[in-house]
Amino acid sequence: AEAGGVHTAEGSWSAATGRFEPRRQLPVYERQLFPELLLGEAGPRFQSAGKTLAETDAVRVWTLDDEVVIATLKTKMHIISPPAGEGLMQALEIAEAGYQGLVIWPGEDPFSVGADLETMLKGFVAGGADFVDSLEKELQDGMLRLRYAQVPVVAAIRGMALGGGCEMSVYSARRVAAMESYIGLVEVGVGLVPGAGGLTYIARRAAECAQASTGKDLLPFLTEGFTAAAMAKVGTSALESRQLGYLLWSDVVVPHRDELLHVAIEQAKAMHAAGWRPPMKRLFPVAGRDGKATITGQLVNMRDGGFISQHDFDIARHIAHVVTG
């Protein structure tokens, strides 16, 4: 009681020794750069750690080692508001100017719950569809900027990566995800179509998987991604998110989330050392009219059979239109 609690800056009270004992300094804990602190405990805090390279109300751009840039969103639930998008682009410019890579790390859950829908709604009321179109264009350009960046961009995912947060992760060069990561395109749940590049990612992945297989038909590969987006499926773990296609087999799953930043930084350095280069901009095949007709026919059967509503049908049809090209 005199010390003010069981956990203090000196350590935690031990009944066995009768004094406050500090955390053990085992080598394995060196990977936990910012471990979760107990109430009253002193320790490193990511909000003020390292060297700040740039900072706004929405994003902090910083580095721990002068080799890899870290971008941490400061917005509520780490939404990708227009200022947050500008901050991420600034972080990328700083990284390309003289660093080995960029890590997008939230510091604490969630990774990001997506775009700022409140700003979109207010803008739509004031400026109509043109405002939303311009905002969507900015998001799409930002995602492409991440994909074709001149340094490897690593998304360090923990907690929810939904909607635009999912799109930001799949457009990064690599993903390092804590086991408790929940990734998915959930826009359908609020009556919207994913618009920041997630559907293009699904179409491109289907083409890549079809090319790597023995068959020539890409529709079977497209169906999984389409279903996940149309039903707003979210992986209940990093492993299930991988099954849904939002994580690749080359991505890294980290069992202990406090090791996430360490692993992400090392991944960025390794990719730089291996001579990483951004993918070439090129066209890819799509399912086309035949694929769209097949998917639409299945949707008609589901609607007429009472499995989905007319609204669900309309949203899914728009998604099918995009993913089939």
Domain count, the chain: 2
Unique residue bearing structure tokens 């179509």: 193
CATH number at residue 162: 3.90.226.10
| Cα separation values, 204 from 44, 141, 198, 276, Å | 41, 17, 10, 20
Residue 197, domain member (yes or no): no
pLDDT score of 120:
84
Same domain for 161 and 96: yes
Same domain for 20 and 144: no
- Cα(36)–Cα(107) distance, integer angstroms: 10
Residue 212, domain member (yes or no): no
Same domain for 122 and 55: yes
pLDDT score of 1:
47
Residue 314, domain member (yes or no): no
pLDDT score of 3:
65
Q: In 246-301, at which residue ranges do the beta strands (DSSP E only) sit? A: 252-254
pLDDT tens-digit readout, 49-101:
999 999 999 999 999 999 999 999 999 999 999 999 999 999 999 999 999 99
- Cα(85)–Cα(266) distance, integer angstroms: 25
Taking each helix axis as running N to C, give the angle between helix 219-230 and helix 198-212, from 0 to 180 degrees, rounded to the nearest 10. Answer: 150
Residue 305, domain member (yes or no): no
Which residues in 11-32 are b (16+ Cβ under 10 Å) and which e? eeeeeeeeeeeeeeeeeeeebb
265 closest CA partner among 107, 27, 67, 85:
67
Same domain for 142 and 249: yes
Which residues constitute the domain of residue 79? 51-186+234-284
Q: Mapping DSSP to helix (H, G, I), strand (E, B) and coil, where does residue 210 land?
A: helix
Work out whether strand 19-21 and strand 11-14 pair parallel, antiparallel, or are unpaired. Answer: antiparallel
Is the separation of the CB atoms in 176 and 256 below 8 Å?
Answer: no
Same domain for 127 and 79: yes
pLDDT score of 20:
81
Report field, pTM of the whole predicted structure over 0.75? yes
Residue 86, domain member (yes or no): yes
What letter does residue 128 receive in the DSSP assignment?
Answer: T
Same domain for 117 and 3: no
Q: Which amino acid is at 305?
A: G
pLDDT score of 2:
64
pLDDT score of 4:
66
Same domain for 104 and 131: yes
| Cα separation values, 33 from 5, 36, 78, 124, 202, Å | 25, 10, 21, 42, 34
Same domain for 140 and 101: yes
Pick out the chain residues at pLDDT < 70.
1-4
Same domain for 254 and 144: yes
- Cα(310)–Cα(215) distance, integer angstroms: 34
Residue 35, domain member (yes or no): yes
Omega of the bond prior to 152 within 30 degrees of 0, cis? no
pLDDT score of 246:
97
Cα 200-204-206 angle, rounded to 5 deg: 120
Q: Which amino acid is at 245?
A: G
Same domain for 269 and 120: yes
**Which DSSP helix (H) or strand (E) runs through 265?**
helix 260-273
Residue 162, domain member (yes or no): yes
pLDDT score of 214:
78
